[in-house]
Protein backbone atom coordinates (compact mmCIF):
# COMPACT_ATOMS: atom_id res chain seq x y z
CA UNK A 1 0.00 0.00 0.00
CA UNK A 2 2.77 2.27 0.72
CA UNK A 3 3.82 1.99 -2.82
CA UNK A 4 0.31 3.05 -3.89
CA UNK A 5 0.39 6.07 -1.60
CA UNK A 6 3.90 6.99 -2.80
CA UNK A 7 2.70 6.60 -6.33
CA UNK A 8 -0.26 8.88 -5.63
CA UNK A 9 1.99 11.45 -3.92
CA UNK A 10 4.49 11.30 -6.77
CA UNK A 11 1.64 11.61 -9.23
CA UNK A 12 0.21 14.57 -7.25
CA UNK A 13 3.64 16.27 -7.20
CA UNK A 14 3.98 15.54 -10.90
CA UNK A 15 0.60 17.08 -11.61
CA UNK A 16 1.34 20.08 -9.39
CA UNK A 17 4.74 20.45 -11.09
CA UNK A 18 3.17 20.17 -14.53
CA UNK A 19 0.47 22.69 -13.59
CA UNK A 20 3.10 25.05 -12.15
CA UNK A 21 5.26 24.63 -15.26
CA UNK A 22 2.25 25.28 -17.48
CA UNK A 23 1.37 28.38 -15.43
CA UNK A 24 4.93 29.74 -15.74
CA UNK A 25 4.91 28.89 -19.47
CA UNK A 26 1.62 30.75 -19.96
CA UNK A 27 2.96 33.72 -17.98
CA UNK A 28 6.11 33.77 -20.15
CA UNK A 29 4.03 33.58 -23.32
CA UNK A 30 1.83 36.45 -22.03
CA UNK A 31 4.90 38.57 -21.24
CA UNK A 32 6.32 37.90 -24.71
CA UNK A 33 2.93 38.71 -26.26
CA UNK A 34 2.75 41.99 -24.31
CA UNK A 35 6.30 42.86 -25.39
CA UNK A 36 5.41 42.03 -29.00
CA UNK A 37 2.29 44.20 -28.78
CA UNK A 38 4.37 47.06 -27.40
CA UNK A 39 6.95 46.68 -30.19
CA UNK A 40 4.13 46.59 -32.75
CA UNK A 41 2.60 49.76 -31.30
CA UNK A 42 5.99 51.50 -31.44
CA UNK A 43 6.50 50.30 -35.00
CA UNK A 44 3.05 51.62 -35.97
CA UNK A 45 3.92 54.98 -34.39
CA UNK A 46 7.12 55.07 -36.44
CA UNK A 47 5.21 54.11 -39.61
CA UNK A 48 2.60 56.82 -38.96
CA UNK A 49 5.32 59.38 -38.30
CA UNK A 50 7.11 58.38 -41.50
CA UNK A 51 3.85 58.64 -43.46
CA UNK A 52 3.26 62.15 -42.08
CA UNK A 53 6.86 63.09 -42.91
CA UNK A 54 6.46 61.70 -46.43
CA UNK A 55 3.26 63.69 -46.93
CA UNK A 56 5.00 66.87 -45.75
CA UNK A 57 7.95 66.10 -48.02
CA UNK A 58 5.63 65.69 -51.02
CA UNK A 59 3.96 69.03 -50.21
CA UNK A 60 7.39 70.65 -49.99
CA UNK A 61 8.39 69.11 -53.32
CA UNK A 62 5.26 70.51 -54.97
CA UNK A 63 5.96 73.92 -53.45
CA UNK A 64 9.57 73.80 -54.66
CA UNK A 65 8.39 72.82 -58.14
CA UNK A 66 5.96 75.75 -58.22
CA UNK A 67 8.63 78.17 -57.05
CA UNK A 68 11.07 76.74 -59.59
CA UNK A 69 8.53 77.22 -62.38
CA UNK A 70 7.90 80.80 -61.29
CA UNK A 71 11.62 81.50 -61.15
CA UNK A 72 12.07 79.87 -64.56
CA UNK A 73 9.41 82.16 -66.03
CA UNK A 74 11.02 85.19 -64.40
CA UNK A 75 14.43 84.08 -65.68
CA UNK A 76 13.06 83.68 -69.22
CA UNK A 77 11.52 87.16 -68.99
CA UNK A 78 14.82 88.57 -67.75
CA UNK A 79 16.72 86.89 -70.58
CA UNK A 80 14.21 88.30 -73.08
CA UNK A 81 14.74 91.74 -71.56
CA UNK A 82 18.50 91.35 -71.98
CA UNK A 83 18.06 90.34 -75.62
CA UNK A 84 15.71 93.29 -76.17
CA UNK A 85 18.22 95.62 -74.54
CA UNK A 86 21.03 94.27 -76.70
CA UNK A 87 18.86 94.72 -79.76
CA UNK A 88 18.28 98.37 -78.87
CA UNK A 89 21.95 98.96 -79.59
CA UNK A 90 22.46 96.51 -82.44
CA UNK A 91 19.16 96.85 -84.34
CA UNK A 92 17.35 99.99 -85.49
CA UNK A 93 13.60 100.65 -85.24
CA UNK A 94 12.99 98.97 -88.63
CA UNK A 95 14.81 95.78 -87.51
CA UNK A 96 17.98 96.36 -89.54
CA UNK A 97 21.38 95.77 -87.96
CA UNK A 98 23.47 98.82 -87.26
CA UNK A 99 26.81 99.91 -85.90
CA UNK A 100 26.29 102.77 -83.45
CA UNK A 101 29.97 103.69 -83.49
CA UNK A 102 29.93 104.37 -87.23
CA UNK A 103 26.62 106.24 -87.05
CA UNK A 104 27.87 108.45 -84.19
CA UNK A 105 30.88 109.42 -86.28
CA UNK A 106 28.59 110.33 -89.18
CA UNK A 107 26.09 112.42 -87.13
CA UNK A 108 27.29 113.15 -83.55
CA UNK A 109 24.67 115.85 -82.82
CA UNK A 110 21.73 113.57 -83.62
CA UNK A 111 23.17 110.73 -81.53
CA UNK A 112 24.01 113.05 -78.66
CA UNK A 113 20.35 114.08 -78.47
CA UNK A 114 19.19 110.45 -78.69
CA UNK A 115 21.57 109.33 -75.94
CA UNK A 116 20.64 112.24 -73.66
CA UNK A 117 16.90 111.57 -74.14
CA UNK A 118 17.39 107.84 -73.54
CA UNK A 119 19.44 108.56 -70.40
CA UNK A 120 16.71 110.86 -69.10
CA UNK A 121 14.08 108.19 -69.81
CA UNK A 122 16.23 105.49 -68.15
CA UNK A 123 16.62 107.61 -65.03
CA UNK A 124 12.84 108.09 -64.95
CA UNK A 125 12.48 104.29 -65.27
CA UNK A 126 14.63 103.92 -62.17
CA UNK A 127 12.42 106.41 -60.34
CA UNK A 128 9.30 104.49 -61.36
CA UNK A 129 10.73 101.14 -60.32
CA UNK A 130 11.82 102.48 -56.94
CA UNK A 131 8.38 103.78 -56.05
CA UNK A 132 7.66 107.05 -57.85
CA UNK A 133 4.11 107.24 -59.16
CA UNK A 134 3.80 107.56 -62.95
CA UNK A 135 2.14 110.64 -64.36
CA UNK A 136 -1.25 110.03 -66.05
CA UNK A 137 -0.06 110.99 -69.55
CA UNK A 138 3.56 109.83 -69.16
CA UNK A 139 5.13 107.98 -72.10
CA UNK A 140 8.61 106.54 -71.70
CA UNK A 141 10.33 104.86 -74.64
CA UNK A 142 12.90 103.12 -72.44
CA UNK A 143 10.45 101.27 -70.22
CA UNK A 144 7.05 101.20 -71.92
CA UNK A 145 5.91 98.36 -69.64
CA UNK A 146 5.88 100.82 -66.71
CA UNK A 147 2.67 102.50 -67.82
CA UNK A 148 0.33 104.12 -65.30
CA UNK A 149 -1.53 101.47 -63.32
CA UNK A 150 1.00 98.69 -63.94
CA UNK A 151 3.05 99.46 -60.84
CA UNK A 152 1.79 98.59 -57.36
CA UNK A 153 0.74 101.55 -55.30
CA UNK A 154 2.34 102.21 -51.96
CA UNK A 155 -0.72 100.79 -50.17
CA UNK A 156 -0.76 97.50 -52.09
CA UNK A 157 0.96 94.48 -50.62
CA UNK A 158 4.00 93.51 -52.67
CA UNK A 159 4.42 89.76 -53.13
CA UNK A 160 7.59 88.35 -51.63
CA UNK A 161 8.27 84.81 -52.85
CA UNK A 162 10.19 84.03 -49.66
CA UNK A 163 6.96 84.38 -47.64
CA UNK A 164 5.45 81.40 -49.52
CA UNK A 165 7.98 79.03 -47.96
CA UNK A 166 6.84 77.65 -44.61
The Cα 50–Cα 1 span in angstroms is: 72
pLDDT computed for residue 58 by the predictor: 96
The Cα 116–Cα 114 span in angstroms is: 6
* Res. 32 pLDDT band, cuts 50 70 90: very high
pLDDT computed for residue 38 by the predictor: 95
Instruction: Write down the mean pLDDT value for the chain.
Output: 83
Answering whether pTM is above 0.85, one says no
The Cα 97–Cα 106 span in angstroms is: 16
Determine the 3-state secondary structure of 97 from DSSP: strand
pLDDT computed for residue 163 by the predictor: 55
Region 87-104 average pLDDT: 80
Q: Are 127 and 121 in contact (CB under 8 A)?
A: no
**In the chain, what are the domain boundaries?**
106-166
* Res. 118 pLDDT band, cuts 50 70 90: confident
pLDDT of residue 65 exceeding 70, the answer is yes
pLDDT of residue 156 exceeding 80, the answer is no
* Res. 5 pLDDT band, cuts 50 70 90: confident
- What percent of the chain lies above the pLDDT cut of 90? 41
Tally of CA atoms within 13 A in the half-sphere of 3 that contains its CB: 0
Region 46-65 average pLDDT: 95
Region 44-59 average pLDDT: 95
Where is average pLDDT lowest: 78-92, 93-107, 128-142, 145-159?
A: 145-159
Where is average pLDDT lowest: 49-58, 67-76, 126-135, 147-156?
A: 147-156
Amino acid sequence: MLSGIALKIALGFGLIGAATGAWFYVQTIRAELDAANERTARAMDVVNEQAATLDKLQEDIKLIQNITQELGKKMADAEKSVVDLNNKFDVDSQGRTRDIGKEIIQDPVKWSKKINRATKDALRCNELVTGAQPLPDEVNGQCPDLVPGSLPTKTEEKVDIRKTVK
